[in-house]
Structure 1
Amino acid sequence: MPSYYIINGQRYDRQLLETAQQLTEGRGDGRISRQDAEIIWEQVQDGSSITATERRTILYLLEKLNWSDRASAWSEQLVELQEDPEEENGIDHIVRVEFDLESLRYDFPPAYIRDQEALEHNRLSFSQALRTALQVILHSDSERESPRQVIGQVFGWFPAAEPEARQKISLKLYEVLRNGQMSLLPAIDWNADTELDFNPPEGGESATDNWIFTLYLPTLSDHLYWVIVPRDGKREAFIYGFN
């Protein structure tokens, strides 16, 4: 049994959710008391430090459940003390903490980022583009060759829109992303008569008009995926693959 639940595309700690449920069901007014909060936090602190998933779960419980004033104030203070010290818009913070992709390898050359943020018509910072790209990777299933669609095809989880299938696909996607590799492509002309040491997007999308990321998931398939994030911040981002 997985150690976490997927709720709205985000991972939450299964043990913490189930403990909170046990502490509130059929007991008094259903509130989390200070004593209950200590029980929950004992589970959080059984490791060397609080993980991104545990932090997200505590914040979720604080929002969704009824806590006593003492319990909520105490827990909110602990969450604040456990905040990750990394810069909010730092690449590692976004990938590892915000999106909980602790093992995803990435290659985002600083020169590529600097040059593309300086483009005259660019309206998205790299951190905005990266967040959008990761959201698309994790949640988009509109494209036939998106990772979610490929997982559904490989494992026969259809229809992909059904809640049970979506849950299975989300869990498997997090699993294959552990061995994934994500890269940022440079903003150059694919059609120029030069040799490229990377694969430009199969659909021919322009890197001057879009932030373009590649994604390779070797434990899933031999597909190479391209994530297209329009620089104008208006058009919808999307992902597709080719093998």
Structure 2
Amino acid sequence: MLYGSCISWSSPTRPTTKEIYPSRAFDAIVGNRRQAGLDRTILDQVLADAKSLRPQLAVRDRVKLDEYLESIRDIERRIDRAANEERLEGWRPTLTKADMPRPPNEIPQNVPDHMRLILDLIVLAFRMDRTRIATCMLNNDLSQMNFGFLEGVQGSLHLDLTHNGRDPVREAMYLKTNQFHVAQFAYLLRRLKEIDEGDQTLLDSSLLLFCSNLFDGDKHQADRMPMVLAGGGGGSVTPGRVLDYRSRPVQDRRACSLYLSLMDRMGV
């Protein structure tokens, strides 16, 4: 379950904490010193309690505790960055203050609104240069999200629609959920394309990868993995192409090779 609900990891066994509350993501981007202070106080208490347990644990349990403590320290570092308003090197943003209101504290109950709000916050973070890398999961791998908000769709994504047994009615509903997810990616691209940075748009300066973990969820088939790479990467890539790697040797078809190439384009 853990590997199906996280795509950003700080180690092979430790996921990076993801944020599903738009209000907290907004505070991390814009900076909320008062809330950061409260969060830091809570984390300090958690760390103190956890450290007091360590001498009482077996060696194996201590390893797990150390991984937990490191995840807490990662959250602390994120809080400190938000409070101190660290600036990245190089390019400077034209947007210095948020151009959208702080979202309510609660998670939006409307799924499309929730997704769009998270995507808007990614755009805001890029525009304010609060980060230059973002990952976003629209669903967990074993998602039980009900897609009844889409016209003509009934049931949960994983059990009812992904594993459809090739039933034509459920396959048609599953297609609508896929189209919905692609539409969210298209929305993000439009938002980035609307941001003028002088000689190019924010989309021209960015690289966005859209993909899934399986080609066929019903059969758990992953030998064909369509991926969409959008944006210009500051001129480092040539967009507008369709590349078919199905006839290539296995060593030329690994997704990790694409990830490494993207890191290379970003100067990593």
Which TM-score tier does this pair reach, normalised by the shorter chain? under 0.3
Q: Which has the higher contact order (CA 8 A, sep 6+)?
A: 1
